[in-house]
């Protein structure tokens, strides 16, 4: 399998009146394989949408090169720029972008009409695309009479009708309600299997990205943080940001003494964790609330009690003091501890990160103003 | 402190009956959430309480004060009911400053000037908005406007505060903060708060007691969060409060079986009346665990990694069921692959009468 | 959104009988006032067109309708309106696209400048163009003739095409403003997705952008059409002397020539029916087209659209836009000012012929001072009365929603569709002693009544829109806070719609200040308005003095407009 999309040192800078220079995309290097579903994930302002728009050809690059299907489409050095209509892409937008002045059939037929495909072929290919997006029977309907989910299906049908090799999806599910979002996720995957295109999926919703992608890129403040499979990213986040961004996290600040980890400021009871060899004196231990074993008192683990119990719809959340910090623990409803009850907590395979980085937080706050 | 009593309330919009003989008593000094799907009549109930609409029958009492009684022809007008209300869209008057907004109810009570000012400032203090007293609402964020609305509701020192979906328009992070804040305010004032929402999650996070209303406008359970989560009174509550699988039961000979195309003997105990037929087993996706020894064998159709958990769709006979496996469980028991056949066990299942044909979800 | 309206009715039901009465009083007041102001004049026109001394008599009507001169006027009206609409629309769409989607420089400034022709009174523009290109004596015409040694005047503005040209210059902003705002609201991804689908820039414009703004285009185009059909000023200044009549100028001529006799007015009424039929057809067309293309393009996150690079065409197009503005705004303005300094019309424009005498006359002559005073009086009074009455009607329609609210709405919007000339005839027929002996003819009050009928819909529309914004929960919150129904109206609703009421006032006051169509038929010896005074000075051949007064009028309009923009900008939005 070859690389279908290659980003080589891609950088985008722009200047704002109030905040000076902003590096929206800082030296992105990326190879997306043929047939892969690849997600760009990050908070707003992380550079994911700008990168997608550069791939589509709606934005120019400040530096670097982009290659699509082995063909150079954007290059600063060679002063090359292929306009969006000649890149042979499919794209679906967040706000559907279904043309309200055309009926469903005409919307889907539009790309073919532009290509001057003959009439019978148009009919056949549009009907096929409508069939695969479960829109058969709605050919004559007007978009304004259809639901959000159906409109997004029109956008999908319009994107697949030209049989593109690369499909760009820009937050395509964000405007749909949660139930529909899940169904559409499955449908997109099914279409991919059927037509075998490469997907770039942009989203800020981590669970959506994890559910759909083969690999994903987490970025923050215009920089790539980590590229890996969803499971690896979730299980081995490279830094605290990625840990916090993917799934729920709970952190304990610890001090290392004699190879043991103590909650910061409370040296009376150590956490029974094996401390990595290269640990600094102060560290942050990170884990997931549902990866903490909660058991009766005097069991394996840190001895404490339940400070507060909160019922959520699908699980129970306990706040458990560790030193003067509160650890968040989540269990299924069937595991019940009363408020104030003594218990043991055991962190299963936590991650270790250096103590907090104030400078990075400041930069994030600045960028959020843009 | 004031308890609230709705007695036999009936209300119709034309021919459309929203509430029929609805009764509910809410204890004083608690946060009580009125939860139900949209269109179940909870907002109608609040509007009746506030005096914005007039029910056909029944009575409404707050403390020992009768606000409405159809039989005795009592109907206290809205402006005399003395109930604090926070609307979903804030309803902060945009042409008045924050302070003027909060002063307004006291002005209408014709209180002396110094008292109005003092009490208004105290109310603003309680929602941490004193430094914004001179601001106009459009200079404030959504969360701050909501605080102003709360201060305006607090200022009349009512024993009853009604909040109608007050945080729906805020973003997730702010929602959490506001929930905490509402809780703190209730602690300080010791007032009764009637909190209306369609969002079970925030109701659970906030309330002392919950009243769950069904689509047809009837009350289906009233109790603490623990009672509702651990002992749902009926199928509606069970379904409304979280995700669930349902599998029909059928008695074959002397054994209770799961009817999934083929009939598989169900190992757990079920109530006796289930033997008459028409019953279903309800089980939450995270109450299903893999157990190789279980007689229930299912095939894994799909596995999706969702971060904090794996989400499986399994085929049990002809039924598709959903299983959630937490990461902790995945680490200790291991995961199942697509196409594999696994044994499953239901922890904590429930038995409910099956839904009638044509009943809406 | 079912809670949005009808709350007062609901609350009223809760409140019991007492409140219902107050709402009822408001409703009845609305119906009665609208009956007096709007319905009676309209009924009088129809009645007098077909009845004489209480008997049905269609002979006069048939005579008028088949009269050759009148048919020609009708034909001219249609021709002018049609071509003004076509050219105005093309021009409006072209500049709207240029400002909305291309990378043409100085957009903010250009957008503000393109709104100027909208404020400029068209009949003053026509005056200026007449000074320049009059087929006999136009200054620039003479200059060109001498320059190229021609035997004839090169351009004759006193023609159907001249009228079309001047109307296009001042009416294209109708389309321009509608389309610019539609382009701004449009989700850019609609165009981007067409690019992705393989369409070239040019194809995107023709197949996506233009079809999507079609509702805005047709709304603007039909506004040009109806305005032009009913327009009096331009055709009367450019065509009257040459015998080119349109229906509005023909009506004026018929009445003027008959010396204001009842027969003349009746003939005018018959012609009015003709004109109303034409305008009504245009409005039916408008409704049809607008409801067919009723789709919503206002959605999506606000993103800046990708601007189309004009490259080599950028500077020429920019210059073209500037040239257009100079031609339709600056040139006429300069011409009027220059002429206003002339000792006598026809003298060459040279420094030695200049004088301030015209301005002296303007400020000393009783007639002109009175005209300014009259215009201020009727404009301000009509503005204030309509502001309150329009709000009252809007409140009744939006919040009380009585039976027959549809009729109420239609009646209050009716004068909007009726040409000013026609309305004047109705007002004359109704209020010159024929009904219960009330005779307002030749007084300032008859002009006021006509203005009120004509402009009521303006304030009603703005107040209506503002009331829709006042969510019912704001009033409910006040009720729960201890305010009675009346108090919540006074404390919450009224203050909230006050800005809209004020802008409704200015929407009436500004056009009323430069009004000529309605007042030209209603003025008496002592009740000339500013517009009428300029018109009659020019008519009497005192063109430099008319120009001086026009300069003063334009000055007043610019000052007022600046004040209004300042006020509306400073106001905090609701």
- A234-270 pLDDT tens trace: 989 998 889 988 888 999 999 998 888 999 888 889 9
Q: Which of B181-195, C254-268, C370-384, C548-562 is the most confident on average? A: C370-384
Is pLDDT at C572 greater than 60 in this prediction?
Answer: no
**Does B136 reach chain C within 8 Å, measured CB to CB?**
yes
Q: What are phi and psi of C61, to 5 degrees?
A: -60, -45
Is pLDDT at C3 greater than 50 in this prediction?
Answer: no
Spatial distance between the Cα atoms of B19 and B178, rounded to a whole number of angstroms: 30
Which of B200, B286, B327 is nearest residue A332 as measured by Cβ atoms?
B286
Name the percent of chain C lying above pLDDT 70: 92
**Does C480 reach chain B within 8 Å, measured CB to CB?**
yes
Using 50, 70 and 90 to split pLDDT, how confident is the model at A43?
confident
**Does C190 reach chain A within 8 Å, measured CB to CB?**
yes
B212, B236 Cβ separation under 8 angstroms: yes
Q: Where is pLDDT greater, at C400 or C76? A: C76
Enumerate the residues of chain A whose CB falls inside 8 A of the CB of residue B327.
288, 290-291
Q: How far is A334 from chain B (nearest CA, A)?
A: 7
Q: What is the mean pLDDT of residues C493-505?
A: 88
Enumerate the residues of chain A whose CB falls inside 8 A of the CB of residue C195.
57-58, 83-85
Contact B305 A312 (CB under 8 A): no
In the predicted model, what is the mean pLDDT of chain A? Answer: 89
A45, A368 Cβ separation under 8 angstroms: yes
pLDDT number for residue B323: 93
Using 50, 70 and 90 to split pLDDT, how confident is the model at C304?
low
Count, residues in chain C: 574
Enumerate the residues of chain C whose CB falls inside 8 A of the CB of residue A155.
193
Q: What are phi and psi of C408, to 5 degrees?
A: -55, -45
Q: What is the mean pLDDT of residues A130-144?
A: 91
Contact C481 B75 (CB under 8 A): no
Spatial distance between the Cα atoms of A300 and C7, rounded to a whole number of angstroms: 63
C185, C298 Cβ separation under 8 angstroms: yes
**Does A268 reach chain B within 8 Å, measured CB to CB?**
no
Among B274, A367, A83, smallest CA distance to C196 is for A83
pLDDT number for residue A328: 93
Which of B205, B284, B287 is nearest residue A310 as measured by Cβ atoms?
B205
pLDDT number for residue B261: 84
Which of B284, B327, B347 is nearest residue A290 as measured by Cβ atoms?
B327
Q: What are phi and psi of B135, to 5 degrees?
A: -75, 155
Q: Which residues of chain B are under the pLDDT cut of 50?
A: 358-361
Interface test with chain A among B307, B333, B346, B347, by most A beta carbons within 10 Å: B307
Is pLDDT at A34 greater than 60 in this prediction?
Answer: yes
Contact C13 B138 (CB under 8 A): no
Using 50, 70 and 90 to split pLDDT, how confident is the model at A366?
low
Spatial distance between the Cα atoms of B43 and B87, rounded to a whole number of angstroms: 11
Is pLDDT at C277 greater than 60 in this prediction?
Answer: yes
Spatial distance between the Cα atoms of A177 and A351, rounded to a whole number of angstroms: 34
pLDDT number for residue C54: 73
Residue ranges of alpha helices (H) inside chain B are 42-50, 98-108, 113-126, 142-154, 172-189, 200-206, 225-230, 235-241, 327-333
B257, B281 Cβ separation under 8 angstroms: no
Give chain C's largest Cα–Cα span.
86
Give the long-range contacts of residues C323-330, CB within 8 A, separation 24 or more: C324/C91, C324/C95, C325/C113, C325/C114, C325/C116, C327/C169, C328/C117, C328/C125, C328/C169, C328/C170, C329/C113, C329/C116, C329/C117, C329/C120
Is pLDDT at C568 greater than 80 in this prediction?
Answer: no
Enumerate the residues of chain A whose CB falls inside 8 A of the CB of residue B323.
none
Is pLDDT at C560 greater than 70 in this prediction?
Answer: yes
Q: What is the mean pLDDT of residues C282-294?
A: 69
Which of C471, C473, C484 is nearest residue B79 as measured by Cβ atoms?
C484
Among C84, C91, C85, smallest CA distance to C162 is for C84
Among B85, B86, B93, B117, smallest CA distance to B103 is for B117
Enumerate the residues of chain A whose CB falls inside 8 A of the CB of residue C306.
58
Contact A115 C198 (CB under 8 A): yes
Enumerate the residues of chain C whose CB falls inside 8 A of the CB of residue A145.
none
Is pLDDT at C5 greater than 90 in this prediction?
Answer: no
Enumerate the residues of chain C whose CB falls inside 8 A of the CB of residue A58.
192, 195, 306
Burial A201-235 (b: 16+ CB within 10 A, else e): bbbbebbbbbbbbebbbbbbbbebbbbbebeebbb
Is pLDDT at C257 greater than 60 in this prediction?
Answer: yes
Q: How far is A90 from chain C (nearest CA, A)?
A: 7
**Does C212 reach chain A within 8 Å, measured CB to CB?**
yes
A145-159, C1-15, C349-363: segment of lowest average pLDDT? C1-15
Which of A91, A95, A158 is nearest residue C300 as measured by Cβ atoms?
A95
pLDDT number for residue C355: 85
Which of A234, A311, A334 is nearest residue B204 as measured by Cβ atoms?
A311
Secondary structure letter of residue C151 according to DSSP = S
In tens, the pLDDT along C7-41 reads 444 554 455 444 456 778 888 888 898 888 888 88
Q: What is the mean pLDDT of residues C337-341?
A: 89
Sign of CA dihedral A191, A193, A197, A199: positive
| Neighbours, chain B (3 or more CB pairs < 8 A) | A, C
pLDDT number for residue B1: 57
Contact A111 C198 (CB under 8 A): yes
pLDDT number for residue A59: 87
Q: How far is B219 from chain C (nearest CA, A)?
A: 24
Enumerate the residues of chain C whose CB falls inside 8 A of the CB of residue A97.
187, 189-190, 192-193, 300
pLDDT number for residue C94: 93
Residue of A nearest to B310 (CA): A211
Helix (H), strand (E) at residue B257: strand B255-260
Q: How far is C196 from chain A (nearest CA, A)?
A: 5
Could you write out the DSSP letters of every residue in A14-41?
Answer: EEETTTEEEEEEEEEEEEEETT-EEEEE
Contact C212 A162 (CB under 8 A): no
Give the long-range contacts of residues C375-379, CB within 8 A, separation 24 or more: C375/C512, C375/C513, C375/C515, C375/C529, C375/C530, C375/C531, C376/C513, C377/C444, C378/C444, C378/C447, C378/C448, C378/C451, C378/C512, C378/C529, C379/C451, C379/C508, C379/C509, C379/C512, C379/C513, C379/C515
Burial class of C477 by CB neighbour count within 10 A (0 to 12, 13 to 18, 19+): buried
pLDDT number for residue B124: 92
Name the percent of chain C lying above pLDDT 90: 13
pLDDT number for residue C158: 87
Enumerate the residues of chain B whose CB falls inside 8 A of the CB of residue C11.
52, 78
Using 50, 70 and 90 to split pLDDT, how confident is the model at A358?
low
Give the long-range contacts of residues A118-126, CB within 8 A, separation 24 or more: A125/A161, A126/A157, A126/A161
Residue of A nearest to C301 (CA): A95
pLDDT number for residue C398: 84
Spatial distance between the Cα atoms of A175 and A171, rounded to a whole number of angstroms: 8
Contact C300 A94 (CB under 8 A): yes
In the predicted model, what is the mean pLDDT of chain C? Answer: 83
């Amino acid at each position: 399998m070859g690389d279908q999309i290659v980003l080589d040192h891609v950088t985008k800078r722009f200047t704002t009146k109030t905040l000076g220079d902003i590096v929206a995309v800082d030296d992105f290097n990326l190879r997306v394989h043929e047939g892969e579903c690849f997600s760009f994930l990050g908070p707003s302002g992380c550079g994911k949408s700008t990168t997608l728009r550069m791939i589509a050809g709606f934005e120019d690059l400040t530096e670097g090169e982009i290659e699509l299907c082995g063909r150079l489409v954007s290059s600063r050095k060679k002063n090359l720029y292929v306009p969006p209509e000649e890149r042979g892409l499919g794209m679906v937008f967040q706000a559907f972008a279904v043309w309200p002045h055309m009926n469903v059939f005409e919307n889907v037929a539009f790309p073919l009409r532009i290509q001057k495909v003959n009439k019978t072929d148009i009919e056949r290919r549009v009907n096929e695309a409508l069939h695969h997006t479960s829109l058969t029977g709605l050919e004559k309907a007007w978009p304004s009479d259809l639901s959000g989910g159906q409109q997004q299906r029109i956008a999908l049908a319009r994107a697949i009708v030209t049989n593109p090799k690369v499909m760009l999806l820009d937050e395509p599910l964000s405007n749909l309600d949660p139930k529909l979002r899940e169904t559409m996720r499955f449908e997109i995957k099914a279409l991919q299997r059927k037509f075998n295109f490469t997907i770039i999926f942009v989203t800020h919703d981590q669970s959506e990205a994890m559910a759909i992608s083969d690999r994903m890129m987490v970025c923050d403040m215009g920089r790539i943080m980590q590229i890996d499979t969803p499971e690896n990213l979730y299980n081995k986040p490279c830094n605290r940001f990625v840990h916090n961004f993917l799934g729920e996290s709970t952190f304990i600040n610890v001090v290392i003494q004699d190879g043991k980890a103590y909650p910061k400021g409370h040296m009376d009871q150590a956490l029974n964790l094996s401390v990595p060899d290269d640990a600094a004196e102060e560290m942050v231990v990170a884990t997931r609330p549902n990866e903490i074993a909660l058991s009766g008192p005097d069991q394996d683990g840190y001895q404490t009690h339940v400070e507060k119990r909160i019922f959520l719809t699908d699980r129970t959340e306990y706040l458990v003091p560790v030193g003067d910090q509160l650890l968040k623990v989540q269990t299924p409803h069937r595991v019940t501890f009363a408020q104030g009850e003594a218990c043991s907590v055991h962190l299963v395979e936590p991650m270790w990160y250096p103590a907090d980085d104030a400078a990075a937080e400041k930069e994030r706050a600045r960028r959020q103003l843009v | 402190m004031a308890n609230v009593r709705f007695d036999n309330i009936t209300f119709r919009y034309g021919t459309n009956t929203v509430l029929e003989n609805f009764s509910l008593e809410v204890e004083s000094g608690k946060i009580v959430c009125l939860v139900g799907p949209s269109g179940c009549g909870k907002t109608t109930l609040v509007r009746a309480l506030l005096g914005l609409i007039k029910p056909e029958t029944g009575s409404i009492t707050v403390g020992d004060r009768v606000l409405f009684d159809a039989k005795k022809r009592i109907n206290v007008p809205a402006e005399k009911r003395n109930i604090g209300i926070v609307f979903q869209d804030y309803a902060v008057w945009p042409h008045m400053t924050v302070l003027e907004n909060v002063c307004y109810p006291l002005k209408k009570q014709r209180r002396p000037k110094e008292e109005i000012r003092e009490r208004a400032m105290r109310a603003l203090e309680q929602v941490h908005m004193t430094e914004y007293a001179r601001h106009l609402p459009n200079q404030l964020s959504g969360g701050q406007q909501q605080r102003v609305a709360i201060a305006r509701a607090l200022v009349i020192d009512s024993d009853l505060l009604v909040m109608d979906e007050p945080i729906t328009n805020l973003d997730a992070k702010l929602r959490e903060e506001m929930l905490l804040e509402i809780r703190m305010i209730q602690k300080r004032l010791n007032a009764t708060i009637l909190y209306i929402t369609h969002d079970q999650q925030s109701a659970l996070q906030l309330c002392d007691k919950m009243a769950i209303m069904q689509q047809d406008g009837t009350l289906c359970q009233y109790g603490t969060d623990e009672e509702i989560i651990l002992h749902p009174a009926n199928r509606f509550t069970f379904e409304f409060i979280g995700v669930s699988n349902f599998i029909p039961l059928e008695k074959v000979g002397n054994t209770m079986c799961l009817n999934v195309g083929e009939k598989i003997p169900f190992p757990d105990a079920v109530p006796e009346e289930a033997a008459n037929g028409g019953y279903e087993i309800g089980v939450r996706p995270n109450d299903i665990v893999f157990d190789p020894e279980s007689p229930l064998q299912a095939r894994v159709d799909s596995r999706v990694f969702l971060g904090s958990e794996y989400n499986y769709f399994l085929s049990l006979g002809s039924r598709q069921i959903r299983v959630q496996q937490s990461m902790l469980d995945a680490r200790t028991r291991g995961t199942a692959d697509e196409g594999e056949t696994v044994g499953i066990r239901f922890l904590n299942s429930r038995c409910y009468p099956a839904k009638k044909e044509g009943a809406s979800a | 959104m079912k809670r949005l309206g009808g709350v007062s009715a609901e609350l009223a039901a809760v409140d019991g009988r007492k409140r219902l009465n107050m709402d009822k009083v408001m409703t009845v007041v609305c119906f009665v006032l609208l009956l007096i102001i709007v319905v009676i004049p309209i009924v009088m026109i129809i009645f007098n067109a077909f009845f004489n001394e209480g008997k049905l008599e269609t002979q006069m009507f048939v005579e008028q309708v088949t009269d050759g001169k009148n048919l020609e006027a009708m034909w001219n009206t249609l021709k002018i309106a049609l071509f003004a609409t076509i050219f105005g629309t093309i021009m409006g769409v072209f500049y709207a696209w240029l400002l909305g989607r291309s990378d043409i420089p100085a957009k903010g400034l250009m957008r503000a400048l393109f709104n100027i022709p909208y404020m400029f009174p068209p009949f003053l523009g026509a005056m200026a163009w007449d000074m320049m290109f009059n087929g006999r004596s136009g200054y620039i015409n003479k200059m060109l003739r001498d320059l190229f040694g021609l035997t004839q005047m090169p351009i004759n503005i006193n023609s159907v095409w001249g009228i079309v040209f001047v109307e296009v210059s001042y009416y294209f902003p109708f389309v321009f403003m509608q389309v610019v705002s539609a382009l701004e609201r449009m989700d850019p991804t609609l165009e981007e997705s067409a690019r992705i689908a393989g369409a070239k820039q040019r194809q995107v414009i023709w197949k996506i952008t233009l079809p999507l703004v079609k509702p805005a285009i047709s709304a603007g185009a039909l506004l040009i059409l109806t305005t032009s059909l009913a327009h009096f000023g331009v055709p009367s200044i450019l065509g009257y002397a040459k015998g080119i009549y349109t229906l509005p100028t023909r009506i004026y001529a018929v009445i003027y020539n008959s010396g204001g006799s009842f027969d003349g007015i009746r003939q005018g009424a018959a012609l009015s029916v003709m004109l109303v039929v034409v305008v009504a057809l245009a409005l039916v067309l408008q409704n049809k087209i607008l409801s067919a293309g009723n789709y919503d393009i206002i959605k999506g996150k606000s993103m800046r659209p990708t601007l189309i690079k004009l490259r080599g065409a950028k500077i020429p197009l920019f210059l073209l836009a500037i040239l257009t503005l100079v031609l339709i705004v600056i040139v006429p303005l300069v011409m009027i000012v220059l002429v206003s300094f002339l000792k006598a019309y026809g003298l060459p424009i040279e420094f030695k012929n200049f004088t301030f005498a015209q301005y002296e006359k303007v400020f000393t002559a009783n007639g002109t001072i009175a005209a300014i005073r009259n215009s201020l009086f009727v404009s301000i009074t009509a503005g204030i009365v309509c502001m309150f009455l329009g709000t009252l009607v809007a409140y009744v329609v939006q919040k009380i929603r009585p039976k027959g609210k549809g009729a109420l709405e239609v009646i209050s919007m009716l004068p909007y569709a009726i040409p000013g000339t026609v309305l004047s005839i109705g007002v004359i027929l109704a209020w010159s002693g024929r009904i219960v002996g009330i005779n307002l003819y030749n007084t300032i009050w008859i002009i006021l009544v006509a203005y009120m009928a004509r402009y009521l819909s303006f304030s009603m529309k703005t107040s209506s829109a503002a009331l829709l914004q006042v969510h019912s929960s704001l009033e409910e919150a006040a009720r729960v806070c201890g305010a009675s129904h009346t108090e919540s109206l006074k404390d919450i609703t009224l203050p909230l719609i006050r800005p809209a009421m004020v802008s409704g006032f200015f929407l009436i006051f500004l056009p009323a200040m430069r009004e000529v169509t309605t007042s030209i038929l209603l003025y008496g010896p002592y009740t000339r308005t500013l517009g009428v005074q300029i018109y009659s000075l020019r008519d009497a051949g005192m063109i430099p003095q008319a120009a001086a007064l026009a300069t003063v009028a334009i000055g007043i309009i610019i000052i007022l407009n600046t004040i209004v923009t300042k006020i509306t900008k400073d106001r905090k939005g609701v």
